[in-house]
Amino acid sequence: MTIAVGDKLPDVKLMKATENGPEAVQSGDYFKGKKVALFSVPGAFTPTCSAKHLPGFVDKAAELKAKGIDEIACTAVNDAFVMGAWGKASGSDDVTMLADGNGDLAQAVGLVMDGTGFGMGKRGQRFSMVVNDGTVEQLNVEQPGAFEVSSAEYMLGQL
Active site residues: 49
Give the single-character DSSP code of 125. P
- Residue pair 30/111 in contact (Cβ under 8 Å)? The answer is no
Give the integer Cα–Cα distance in Å for 64 and 14.
Answer: 23
Closest CA to 122 of 87, 155, 77, 89: 77
25: helix, strand or coil: strand
